[in-house]
Each structure stands twice: as C-alpha cells, then as structure tokens.
Amino acid sequence: MRNTANSSEALGDKKMRKIFQDKTVVLGVTGSIAAYKIANLASSLVKKGANVHVIMTKNATNFINPITFESLTGNKCLVDTFDRNFEFSVEHVSLAKMADVFMVAPASANVIGKIAGGIADDMLTTTIMACKCHKIISPAMNTNMFENQIVQDNIQKLKNYGYEIIEPASGYLACGDTGAGKMPEPAVLESYIMKEIAMEKDMAGEKVLITAGPTMEKIDPVRFISNHSTGKMGYALAKVAMLRGADVTLVTGKTNIQKPDFVNVIEVQSAREMFEAVDNVFDNQDIVIMSAAVADYRPKNVAAEKIKKKDGQAVIELERTDDILATMSARKKEQFICGFSMETENMLENSKAKLEKKNLDMICANNLKVDGAGFGTDTNVVTLITKNDVKELPIMSKAEVAENILNEIKRG
Ligand code: CTP
C-alpha cells in the first residue's frame, strides 16, 4: 500500500508548516541500533514547525544520547519518571494530554510486550498508557524475535486496541541476520505521522476511486499514441482524499511522478486496461473521480513487428475506445461521479453537454489555453459544474484544487 514519504508534496510546504505548527508529536525511542535514525525524524518534524517531545527508555540511551534530542527539539528529553528537574509535576500526564500523535520507533519486543500487557514502569510506558491520541508503533528487532509467536500475539493485541503498526522492512539487520525486523527509514515514519495529523478525517470510511494520467495505445512494439497528461491532478486528488481519511484506489496510466503513500495504486497502460481496472472496483466505491486523459481512439490493428518505413504517406486506422466514465455512470447506484473536461474553446458549453450526456454529478472543466491550467503544471484553473451550479475557481495549486473538488463533493 505505501510507497515513499511524499505526503508533504501533496499540500505544499507552506500549508504543511501551518498544519504542523499547532501539533505536538511525541516520539518514544527504545533500545535498538535504529534509535540513532530518530534524530533525523525529530529534526525533520521540528523543521516543519511541530512541537516534538522525545521520551527514551533507559536502554535507548545506550544507543543515542538524550542531549542529541534536546538540541534538536528544544524540549527536555524524558527518560526517568522520577526525574524532578522539570517544569511539570506529573510530566507523563501533561505530555499525554498535549500529544496529537504518539509514535514508538524503534519499538523493541520488550516495550511492545509491556504496552500490550498493560505494564507502565517507566516514562515511555506510563505516558503512552495515559495517552488518548493515535498511537503508532514501529517494531524493530532481530527476525527471529519478530517472528516469535509471543511478539506476534502482542502486536495483534495492540492492533486490536487501535494501535497502528508499521510493518518492519526486510533486509540486512545489525545482528548479521537478513530478514524482517528493520525499522523503515525516517521519511517513511514521517509519512505515517503526517497521514495522521495533516488534515481533518472528514472522509474516513469513504471509498474513493480516482483515474489519472494518460493512456498509451500501441501501434507496434515500439510506438504508441498517447497525450501530454502527467497525472498531477489525479495524484493530488488521491493524496488529499487519503489525508482526509478516505480509502483511495488510484488507477493510473504511466506517469513519472511518485506514487502517493497509503493509496491502493493500480498501474495500467491502455484505455482497455484502465476500463478493466475501473470495472473491477467501481461497484464498491462511494466517490468516483475520473481525471485520466483516456484515448478516445486506438489503432485498429496492433502490428506484431516493428512497422518499417516506406515511400509515401502512411495511414493508421483507428477505432473508438470504450468511454469508461459514461459506461460506469450508466450503471451507477449510489456513487457520486465526477468527470473532467479539458477544452480549448467553448469550455462551459461543451462541459455542460458532457455533464448531461454522461449523466455525471459534477464535471471539472479547464481550458488548456488559460495560463496556469492544463498538463504538467503545478497549478490549475477549474470551473466546477453541477446540474444547478457553476463555480469558477481562481488559479491555485493542484492540491488546493483537489481540496475544493472534494469539498464540493462532500457538500453535494
Ligand atoms: N473518459 C473516459 N473514457 C474515455 C474517454 C474519456 O472515462 N474513453 C473520461 C475522462 O477521464 C474525463 C472525461 O471522460 O473524465 C472527458 O470526457 P470526454 O468526452 O472524453 O472529453 P473529451 O475527450 O475532451 O471529449 P471530446 O473529444 O468530445 O472533446
């Protein structure tokens, strides 16, 4: 499901800073060689404006010094419950109340067992016990320990209590073994934190299907017909819907941009493949947004061998592809269906006709000839058209357009 940490791209640095500024992130660090990597995570979160507090177990201090975290976060790094040199009298309760998200990374088998067993005998375990916010655990240990049934049972128990568990990566471990048990890189951990706190989860439980990017229609083994779509608008929609808590499926043509985290990505090439991918999942969706630039025509015959040049003109016979949007909307039940319409003239008129013809709930129209709109740009200028309303939006980032589209759908 997840790929790499790129959620901040979804919203732009300025907006991300605004979000992080009011947020308190508590990082629990336990005794594992991966503990040193949490310095990078703490630093990155602080740079984004978050108030970061680090709690270490005593064992963790063998791997990284609390002063490192204190220097990076500007907050006292808490280790011992009975330390009396700090401002709050019951520090663990104060921190637990302040936290917007609590991540334990790296989480040793020992701390996982203690939390699962309700044992609170140090600063980390007492604080997490008093904490009501979302809790994320990133297990990191030797493969045999990780696969031990007792550890697995404890992890399952935590899952049942609503803790989010980050699947450890596989690879070469510090102990010399190769296998599962590696803490993912700090950027990955950060994407989990971001997912939790970036936006209000007003789309939780909703299933959203988005199509994006171009399709490629083969002419022969080396050539194809396609278009200039880069997928940026569809990917922005997928990211923002995911950050708002939706269960997102992204059916995408070939693009050069990073796949969004925490989204079910289905990669396709041709219009036919996109049709089949959409067809497979459409019936279970609540919201369907088709931003892909689907080829209207494909070569009638695909040559098995490379077509060699000849004198004179060449003609490729084309046939129509299936209209995915029209086919799905003809069989829709409760789904809210939103299409896209890219025009170079008569935008409103043509787009309204498409809304009607394809029986859509909404269409997002944009004029390729307007500055800041169209293929490859980071901005867009769209008009949201429904049966009873036409809303022109000013130029804004594709992430902001995505937010507006989803707001409009939520209202609709
Ligand atoms: N679409 C689709 N399947 C196709 C073609 C388009 O699902 N085979 C979707 C696009 O994803 C987009 C909308 O339909 O949401 C665009 O409508 P369409 O009528 O295809 O627009 P144009 O191709 O721009 O129409 P025209 O060629 O008439 O200008």
Of how many residues is the chain composed? 412
- Six-digit token pair at 124? 């980390």
Q: Kindly provide the residue ranges of all beta strands, DSSP E only, lying in 221-313, ordered along the sequence.
A: 223-225, 247-252, 264-267, 287-290, 297-299
Ligand 1, residue 357: give the atom nearest the CA. 19
How close is the Cα of 71 to the center of ligand 1, in Å? 55
How many A from CA of 323 to the centre of ligand 1? 7
Q: Are 127 and 92 in contact (CB under 8 A)?
A: yes
77 is catalytic: no
Element (H, E) at 138: strand 134-139
Report how far residue 125's alpha carbon sits from residue 210's, in angstroms, rounded to the nearest whole number.
41
40 C-alpha to ligand 1 centroid (Å): 45
354 lines ligand 1 (CB under 6 A): yes
| Residue-level pLDDT, tens digit, the chain, 412 residues | 444 444 445 566 677 777 788 899 999 999 999 999 999 999 999 999 999 999 999 999 999 999 999 999 999 999 976 655 555 446 667 889 999 999 999 999 999 999 999 999 999 999 999 999 999 999 999 999 999 999 999 999 999 999 999 999 998 877 788 888 999 999 999 999 999 998 899 999 999 999 999 999 999 999 999 999 999 999 999 999 999 999 999 999 999 999 999 999 999 999 999 999 999 999 999 999 999 999 999 999 999 999 999 999 999 999 999 999 999 999 999 999 999 999 999 999 999 999 999 999 999 999 888 888 888 889 999 999 999 999 999 999 999 999 999 999 998 7
Query: Which ligand 1 atom sits nearest the alpha carbon of residue 328?
Result: 7
pTM above 0.85, yes or no: yes
- The answer to whether the beta carbons of residues 169 and 184 sit under 8 Å apart is yes
| Nearest by Cα to 132 from 58, 53, 57, 24 | 24
Pocket-testing residue among 341, 348, 352, ligand 1, by greatest number of atoms within 8 A of Cβ: 341
d(CA 218, CA 376): 23
CA of 399 to the centre of ligand 1 (A): 22
Rg value, the chain, Cα = 25
**Identity of residue 311:** D
Catalytic residue among 133, 175, 338, 364: 175
State whether the beta carbon of 324 lies less than 6 angstroms from ligand 1. yes
Alpha-carbon distance values, 71 to 42, 46, 68, 127 (Å): 10, 11, 5, 22
125 three-state secondary structure:
helix
